[in-house]
Amino acid sequence: MEAFDRLKSLITQAEEDILKAEGGNKAAGTRARQFMQDIKNTAQEVRTKILELRAPGSPSGQ
């Protein structure tokens, strides 16, 4: 699933900025918060896709 792969990528990309933010870097904190928002939105997209797959009438949900 493309959305899940994107979610994994975002988490990996956020790691460096999160570590820098823990050290007090304010700019990294801002970037980390943006990554977290992107992660949240992408996770919701994954949830929606999963629901579509199990919905009655969908090709995989039968």
In a domain, 10, yes or no: yes
Q: What is the pLDDT of residues 33-59, one digit of tens each?
A: 999 999 999 999 999 999 999 987 766
Q: Which of 39, 4, 2, 1 is nearest to 18 (CA)?
A: 39
Q: Which domain holds residue 39?
A: 2-54
The pLDDT, as a whole number, for residue 49 is 94
Proportion of the chain above pLDDT 90, given as a percent = 84
28: pLDDT strictly greater than 90: yes
Percent of the chain with pLDDT over 70: 92
Closest CA to 31 of 47, 46, 44, 13: 13
> In the prediction, which pLDDT does 59 show?
64
**What pLDDT does 25 receive?**
96
Domain count for the chain, please give it.
1
Considering the domain boundaries, does residue 59 fall inside one? no
